[in-house]
Amino acid sequence: MVTIRRIVDDQLYVHFVTFSVDKRQKRLDHDHPKRILLGVLNDQMEKKSAKCPGFVSMPDHVHA
């Protein structure tokens, strides 16, 4: 079961986010899934006028 958490924060604070692939599968080892992930992250940052100075993509999770 997927739990969707939505938090809206209007304050200008630094946030650190970590998320993992379902069941820790190593899906991000491949180029195509990484490109999809980067596209979605970029779209969301533009939509929310957010800035992300860096992130780390691991085979089964991402730190941003």
pLDDT of residue 58: 96
Confidence check: pLDDT of 50 > 80: yes
Query: Which tokens go with 13?
Result: 């604070």
Q: State pLDDT tens for residues 1-42.
A: 677 777 766 677 777 889 999 999 999 999 999 999 999 999
pLDDT of residue 8: 66
pLDDT of residue 2: 73
Answering whether pTM is above 0.75, one says: no
Please name which of 34, 33, 38 lies closest in space to residue 52, comparing C-alpha atoms: 38
Asked whether 21 and 61 are in contact (CB, 8 A), the reply is yes
Place of tokens 């180029």: 31
